[in-house]
Amino acid sequence: MDVIFADQQLGHHPEAFIARGRVATNPERAERAGRLLMAAAGAGHHVVAPANHGPAAIAAVHDAGYLEFLHTAHGRWMELPNAGAEVQPNVHPSRRTGNRAAGARALGIVGLAGHYIADTGTPIGPATYHAAYWSAQTALEAAERVRASGSAAYALCRPPGHHAYADLAGGFCFLNNAAIAAQYLRERGAPRVAILDVDVHHGNGTQGIFYGRDDVFYASIHADPTSYYPFYAGYADERGDGAGYGYNLNLPLAHGSGDSEMLAALDNALAAIGRFTPSHIVVSLGLDASEHDPLGALKVTTDGFGAMAKRIASLGLPSVLVQEGGYLSEALGGNLVSFLAGFEAGFKPR
């Protein structure tokens, strides 16, 4: 299987991460991508760099004001007196009351940071936009190869994307790579696209982008968000809105769930995806469901990732595999290799 990777993604070096009131080293480090790349190459996968597909496919998903903010935020931030090294919001305005959504661009950079960044785990440094742009290009390259071949490709994207809304960064994510890939496929003739998210965290941004649509089916298997990020989305009663009602499926798992619970939920998700009859599937591949992941709340084993992949591959759909979470542990590379091997073993194109 082709592995798509852009070296430009390594330039993003977030420092700050505030969790439970403590400042810690941000776990979304460039080393993640290096370990995944080494493991994939070591397993014999062909690594290729993406072409630059341009900004239009990103703008098809993300708000223009938000993209302008991401592109200019760090430069504007550094013009502030006594500014820290990274753009980090110190205000978190509610989007429900009293916000200036229509006039967001008129705000100063501190106000814009609060408007466009959801949490304190998603700081913007000097190379963040460039890295996120090439992360999206990585997903687009995989989507184009899958569109042309009808097969599968793995996009080693970093920073990840599934917590990013059309106009909001969060959860280490800036541009929603899976959503960008799905929209790209739709605009190039795919009648229906399914997105299957198996990250330990619910992909609230992806859900939000497609919540009112019936041409993209979103299914997510994740740890119960009651006491886990993203907290405010990912519940089973979130089914979609308007034309999108019934095209959103959340399957939250109790914390500590392992292979058997994950595979049972996956069977439910795959059955729902099968009823949707998509022409293509985008998989938001989070390896942070691992029993060894430092942020994980689930207990999926290395063999479990291979079993998951084999079942997903059995759909026989052209498949874009997009890297999401999966943080530093000794098992990280092995989990990816297991998933890719399982997928190749189970994939029989229709």
Could you list the active site residues? Answer: 163
List the strands of the sheet with 319-323, edge to edge.
46-48, 2-4, 152-155, 319-323, 280-285, 193-197, 216-223, 248-253
* CA-based end-to-end distance of the chain: 17
Q: How far apart are CA 30 and CA 231, in angstroms?
A: 26
| Contact by Cβ (8 Å): 284, 195 | yes
Quick check: bond before 230 cis, omega within 30?
yes
Q: Which helix (H) or strand (E) holds 83?
A: none
Element spanning 56, H or E: helix 56-59
Torsion of CA 67, 136, 197, 115, to 10 degrees: -20
Residue 194: closest CA among 281, 107, 130: 281
Q: How far is 254 from 226, CA to CA, in rounded Å? A: 10
Planar angle of CA 169, 40, 44, nearest 5 degrees: 155
**Cα 34 vs. chain centroid, distance in angstroms?**
18
